[in-house]
């Protein structure tokens, strides 16, 4: 199940901009062109809302699976083995990062991943004044594995829960999702 959480964030941005209430300026062709553009805007907004609801359903399903696996793991390992008391407060960097591309204060795309993103900037993007940031590669170190906080031997249900929560966020594609570039 692809990055439902990140897709929802992008869909929310797209719906925000389409519901900004901006109406196209009246053209010399009269009201028809304006109304046509307005209808297109509304259709696009409704498509985005529909996509948003689909992603939310997928997100809820994945999260529910993760909570269920965590409950099973807590039953197998004991309630004291899984909880906030085991959270490590030692300085450590997050293993998951987000690369945000912005143009004129508008978010262009979210890129999420664990490895370095080789952001290819072609000529078109240069003309659009897009600025990209790549994320340094995070080599998976067994010492930084989050699971280690809960002990060396953990229930397979806990690993399954980890997989579910990773699935919520994980974005395996490398191409950029173009965000809504202009308001109407």
Partner 1 sequence: MAAATASSTISQPAARTSSLIALIADEDTVTGFLLAGVGNVDLRRKTNYLLVDSKTPVKAIEDAFKEFTTRDDVAVLLISQYIANMVRFLIDSYKKPVPAILEIPSKDHPYDPAHDSILSRVKHMFSSDPSGPIGRG
Question: Cβ of residue 61: shortest distance to partner 1, in angstroms?
Answer: 10
Interface with partner 1 includes 182 (CB under 8 A)? Answer: no
Interhelix angle 156-169/31-77, nearest 10 degrees = 170
Interface with partner 1 includes 50 (CB under 8 A)? Answer: no
Q: By the 8 A CB rule, do 59 and 169 touch?
A: no
Question: Cβ of residue 175: shortest distance to partner 1, in angstroms?
Answer: 17
| One of 5, 58, 113, 171 touching partner 1 (CB under 8 A) | 5
- Which positions from 137 through 156 interact with partner 1, judged by CB under 8 A? 138, 146-147, 149
- Number of residues in contact with partner 1, rule: CB under 8 A? 77
Which CA distances in Å does 1 have to 31, 52, 78, 170?
44, 15, 30, 9
Which CA distances in Å does 74 have to 65, 88, 89?
14, 18, 21
How many Å apart are CA 162 and CA 73, to the nearest integer? 11
Question: Cβ of residue 77: shortest distance to partner 1, in angstroms?
Answer: 12
- Which positions from 76 through 105 interact with partner 1, judged by CB under 8 A? 82-84, 87-105
Q: By the 8 A CB rule, do 160 and 62 touch?
A: no
Toward partner 1, which CB reaches closer, 145 or 173? 145
Interface with partner 1 includes 180 (CB under 8 A)? Answer: no
């Amino acid at each position: 199940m692809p990055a439902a959480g990140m897709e929802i964030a992008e869909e929310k941005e797209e719906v925000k901009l389409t519901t900004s209430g901006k109406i196209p300026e009246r053209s010399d062709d009269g009201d028809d062109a304006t109304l046509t553009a307005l209808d297109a805007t509304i259709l696009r907004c409704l498509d985005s809302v529909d996509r948003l609801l689909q992603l939310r359903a997928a997100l809820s399903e994945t999260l529910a699976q993760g909570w269920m696996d965590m409950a099973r793991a807590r039953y197998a390992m004991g309630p004291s083995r899984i909880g906030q008391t085991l959270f490590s407060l030692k300085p450590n960097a997050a293993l998951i990062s987000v690369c945000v591309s912005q143009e004129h204060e508008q978010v262009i795309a979210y890129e999420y991943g664990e490895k370095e993103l080789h952001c290819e900037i072609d000529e078109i993007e240069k003309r659009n004044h897009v600025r990209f940031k790549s994320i340094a590669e995070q080599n998976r170190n067994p010492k930084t594995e989050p699971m280690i906080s809960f002990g060396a031997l953990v229930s397979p249900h806990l690993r399954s829960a980890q997989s579910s929560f990773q699935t919520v966020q994980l974005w395996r594609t490398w191409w950029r999702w173009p965000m809504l570039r202009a308001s109407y």
